[in-house]
Amino acid sequence: MGVKNLIELEMKYENEKSPIVDLFLAAVTVPVVVFARHSDAISKEEGE
């Protein structure tokens, strides 16, 4: 993802925003934040 892609996604959201879209985005974001092992994490140790 580059800056151009992020701008396109932001414009798409602006045109399609609604409570349903917000709920969908929250539903797919929460599991990523809670369960994903991010490659850009500061600590790479097991169990953290």
State the pLDDT at residue 32.
81
pLDDT score for 5: 87
Specify if 13 maps to a domain. yes
* C-alpha–C-alpha distance, residues 15 and 48, integer Å: 39
The pLDDT tens digits for 1-41 are: 678 888 998 999 999 889 999 999 899 988 888 887 666 65
pLDDT of residue 45: 56
What DSSP line would sit under 5-36, residue for residue?
A: HHHHHHHHHHHH--HHHHHHHHHHHHHHHHH-
> Is the confidence at residue 46, as pLDDT, over 90?
no
Identify the domain containing residue 10 by its residue range: 3-35
Is 15 a member of any domain? yes
Confirm whether 41 is domain-assigned.
no
Residue 31: what pLDDT?
Answer: 85
> End-to-end alpha-carbon separation of the chain, Å?
26
Total domains in the fold of the chain: 1
Distances (CA, A) of 34 to 5, 14, 18, 23: 25, 26, 24, 17
* Residue at 40 is within a domain: no
Determine the pLDDT at residue 36. Answer: 74
Residue 24 lies in a domain: yes
